[in-house]
Each structure stands twice: as C-alpha cells, then as structure tokens.
Structure 1
Amino acid sequence: MTKTRDWTYEGVLGRLTARTWEGPGDPSRIVVVAHGYGEHIGRYERLAARLAADGAVVHAVDYIGHGRSEGERVLVTDFEDVVTDLHTLAETAGRDHPGLPVVLLGHSMGGLIAARYAQRYGDTLAALVLSSPVVGRWDAVAQLLALDEIPDVPLDITTLSRDPAVGERYAADPLVWHGPFKRPTLQALERGLDAVAKGPSLGDLPLMWIHGESDTLVPIEGSRAGITHLRGPHYVERTYPEARHELFNELNADTVLDEVATFIRDAAPR
C-alpha cells in the first residue's frame, strides 16, 4: 500500500504544493518527478505508485501557476526559477532521507526542466529519465510566437494516448489548464530550449530517453537533437511504435513502467 502525503513550501515566486508517495518499508532511493505543461502532480499516481512499490520515495511539485500552487495560471516567466524550486524539493527529500541516491524524471515540458536541472545540479543526481521531453527543437514555440494573437484552441486530447479514457479524464480535470498559451511562457520556453542547447552535456550521468514514435505534441525527431547533445556513455533509449505523448498513460504503460523502473533500479540500486 502506497502512502501519500501532501505538503507545501515556499518557492521563488509563491507557495507551492508538493506530494510524496512512499511504499512499505524503508526506501532505497529518491525519485523526483517533473510534470508537464498545464497539468499537475495528481496525474502521476500510477507512475509514483509503481516506483514506490519498487523501493522509491517519490516527490513531485505543482510548478508556480500550475495545479494547486500559487500564481497566475500557466504563467512561467523564467524556467530557471522552476529549476530552483525543483531543487528545493530535492533538497528537502534528501534531508528527510539522507544518503539515498536521487533520480530525476521529467515528462514533456518537465523534460526541459529536468534537463536544465541536470546541467545545473547533475553532481547531485544518480540518474535522469526524460519522457517525451521538450528539448532540442520544438517548432510549436516559434510558430505560436510568430502569431499576433495566441489562439485559444483546446488541446486535441487524442494526441495524449491511444486510450480514449485518458483524454476524457484530462478534458474533465479542473486542475488542468484548458486555455491558451501565454506569450511570456512561450518566450520562457524558447529561452529554456536555448539554455539547454548551449549548456553542457551530462557526461557520465546515466540517462534514459523514452518517446512515443507517434507523438505529435512533441515530435520525436525534434527531441532527438537535444538528447544527442545531452547524452553521455551511460545511455538507454526506448521508443515505442504507435505510442503517443503520455507514455505512462498509454496502452503499453505497463511495459514502459517496467523498463523505467528497471533503469532506475540499476542506476540507483538498493
């Protein structure tokens, strides 16, 4: 049985809501999860429960402007601040469980945040997992910024997963943002992509990249350039034919979760 605890802490620009998942017995590792744009930590229950059952204590936080945290909805003016907030979370986790190895897992926009985190704080990590990450080239940012007005067009929920229930739950979730991008957030994303591209490779840090081959939200080939820049000798790549954007909510999610859990267990053993 996984135990869940919600708590808050002060971030750079406001109060943030975090969640901790812990399985039975003493944990063997810490996993910090960085969620995607417009969503929240409550959408990661399945992933967290799987990792907690495997011996991890899992921590995640709603970014500023997301979920139950403070701030104007989906307004992020500088992703360096979000990285700093995530580091505060990891430091708290380390104080609660001193001596345990820390693994960082980032999905989508959280992949950008996690990649930048690893460039800044890689010496504190045992491994990094990037799921459908916004790194390398993401054409949607430049296309939207070129417009005089950002269109208020709802996300096509069929792009999330081949399981229609995933999109239906997303569309009905009041903690998910269903409005348009905000220009300052897009500008911050553009700067964040540039910072990762100009930042260092991750050297010997073990890296796992997972991506759906039919992901139209964050196309796989755009991310590949960023992964090529980041990766070092300890690298695992898993791509999944026909899978879409949210691999932890896909029809083959059990396989994905098993492969991610195995990588994490090998990189940060008991």
Structure 2
Amino acid sequence: MLRTYKTAVVAALCSTVVGTAVAGCAGDSLDNWDPLAPTTQKADAGPISGTKKVDVAGRSVNVSCSGDPAKGRPVIMLMHGGGDGLDKMAALQKTLGKKNRVCSYDRLGAGASDQPDGPQDFAVTGKILTGVLDRVAGDNPVVLAGHSLGGLIAARYVPDHQDRVKGLVLMDTTSPTMVDDITKAIPESAKGPAAEVRAQNLAIFQGQNPEKLVITDGKVRSAGNIPVEVIQHGKQYLAAIPTYGQRLEQAWSAGQRKWLAVSSGSKLSTATDSGHYIYVDQPDVAVQAIERVTSQVAGE
C-alpha cells in the first residue's frame, strides 16, 4: 500500500514514474501501426513518418510523427509527462493521426533523446521544443497537448510563441505553484509516508529527475484568447496519503483552476473515471478535447 500511493503521488505531483507499464496502450489499439518504427529518411528530407532522430541545437532528439498534413489544420504536438517518453502516448497519437498530423518527441533526458549536459530550466526546454516544431510543423499552426510536466512546459511556452501555437490542451498538468502547494499541504513536521512524498517531490523539483529539469513556481502568463482545455482527474487517489491526502487533492484542483488564466478562452473539465493518466484511463476524453481545440484553431 505504501508503494502504491507513493508511486501515484510522485506520478501526479512531479510527473515522474519510471518503469511503470503503459496500461491501455497495447493490444488492438496498436494493431497494424507502429508510431515508433524507425524511418530511413535523411535528416532534412520531407515530412517525418514514424520515428527518427533529428538534430536540434547540436543534440539528438527522438521524434515521432503520423497522419497526413491537412490544409488549414494545425499540427498537434503531444508532450509526455516526466519520467515517461513519447512511447507512452503512442495509442493517443495513433487515434489522433486518423484525422490529423500528430507528432511527439522525447525531451532531453527522456526516452531515446540525448542526455542534457547539466541542469535544465524552462528556457532550455523551450528552445528544444522550438527546434522540434521548426522541423515538424514549419509555418503551420500548432496545438500543444501536454500531460503533467509536459503540460507545465507547454503552458509556460505558449505565451511567448503565440505566433505559432494557436491552441492548448492540459491533461492533469502539474500546478504552476507546485513547490509552494506541496510544502503547504505537507508541512516539514510531517512523519512517515507523507514526509517521504514531500522529500521526494522537493528533490525532483530541484532537478533530481531524468531530465535534470529544475521545476520552479511562477505566475500563469496569458496567451491571449486561444482555445484551451484543462482536464483534471476525477479519481481522488492523492487522498490515500495519511493525514495530508485531502489537502493535496485540494491543492491539485486549485492548480488546475490556476491554469485557466493562460487564456480568456479556457475551459475546465473533470475526467470522472480517471487517475493521473487521463489519456490512458479515459482516452476518449483526451481525444475529444484535443480534436475540439484543433477544430477551433482550424476555424471549423
């Protein structure tokens, strides 16, 4: 039981679960198509189909793209949570790729991409994202769809790139004030499992994570009135932590509401039957939200 809820909390608060099986990403959902299949294309030869390594600022970044470019429709970029990789979102990418051009990538330190040279901040992750979008989207508009830490990175990126990013979907995204949230929800005097969860998360926020990303709190900046959907989990699994679990649930929910300030066109919904991995637990909820935002951007 201790391991179960510790893993769940680490997954949600700091978006870092290493070695967890991808529930719902096997079987018929992936029949006859492999978004991770290597491609023989040369580095700069046409649109990417399948998975290949691309050079971004001298670093090798693992990128996967599927679906055909459609005139007037944006490119969807999926952004995985911390401790995950693009393979975790393969089923989601396959489904969306039936109607859309969809890509995903491993950030530095994740999946098959290069390791970072040292600690990273949001400026560095933003530069890598820009380089990936230059390669896969060109001048086309983009919709970012991020889970957990991927959502946090996306939401920090959009206000400075409104010329390119025209829509945003945040799936149980790490709160913009997560460090403050967890230190208030679980005091330093806490004992037992709650104290372990507090210490683990604070260490991860300080850069002790696979991406060596220092995760700092910050004010939510506006990206104008672009369409944004914020989806939060409905299964209150954080409440399993003794004494402080309900505080964590309240802090997490408040964090989701804070993200509404990223746009005057933001909407909040709850995936009632989902834990942290909404796109695995209720894939239809994730797909429909991303397609709604994509259609709005396309003016449909």
The normalised TM-score by structure 1 is 0.71
The amino acid across from 1:111 in the alignment is: G
Q: 1:73-130 CA deviation, whole Å, 9 max, x = no partner?
A: 9x752122111111111111223xx5x3311111100011000110221221221111
Aligned to 2:221: 200
Q: Which residue of structure 2 aligns with residue 78 of structure 1?
A: 121
The secondary structure found in structure 2 opposite 1:45 is helix
SS state at 1:210 partner: strand
| Separation of aligned partners in 2, 1:143 and 1:183 | 18
8 A Cα contact 2:229 2:289, kept in partner: no
Q: Distance in 2 between matches of 1:258 and 1:125?
A: 19
Mapping 1:147-186, distance limit 5 Å = 181=204, 183-185=206-208
Pairwise mapping of residues 1-270 of structure 1 onto structure 2 (< 5 A)? 4=35, 5-12=50-57, 14-23=59-68, 26=70, 28-54=73-99, 56-71=100-115, 76-95=119-138, 98=139, 100-138=140-178, 139-140=181-182, 181=204, 183-185=206-208, 188-191=213-216, 193-194=217-218, 197=219, 200-214=221-235, 216=237, 219=249, 220-232=252-264, 234-250=265-281, 252-269=282-299
User: Shift of the alpha carbon at 1:228?
Assistant: 3.5
Q: SS of the residue aligned with 1:84?
A: helix
User: Residue 268 of structure 2: SS of its match in structure 1?
Assistant: strand
Distance 1:45 1:190, change over 3 A: closer
Query: What is the number of equivalent residue pairs in this alignment?
Result: 230
8 Å CA contact 1:141, 1:190 repeated in 2:
no
Assess if the C-alpha contact under 8 Å between 1:2 and 1:53 holds in 2. Answer: no
Query: Unmatched 5+ residue regions in structure 2?
Result: 1-31, 36-49, 198-202, 239-247
5+ long unaligned stretches in structure 1: 156-179
TM-score of the superposed pair, with normalisation by structure 2: 0.65
State the distance in 2 between where 1:216 and 1:40 align. Answer: 23
Q: Residue deviations 1:176-227, cap 9 Å, x none?
A: xxxx848424795442x32xx1x53122111111111225468442423431
Give, as a single letter, the amino acid of the residue that structure 2 aligns with 1:63.
R
Taking only aligned residues, the RMSD between alpha carbons, in angstroms, comes to 3.5
Structure 1 residues 182 and 227, CA gap change in structure 2 (3 angstroms): closer
Query: Does the aligned pair in 1 maintain the 2:170–2:230 contact within 8 Å?
Result: yes
Which of the pair has more CA radius of gyration? 2
CA distance in 2, matches of 1:83, 1:216: 31
Paired AA for residue 116 in structure 1:
R
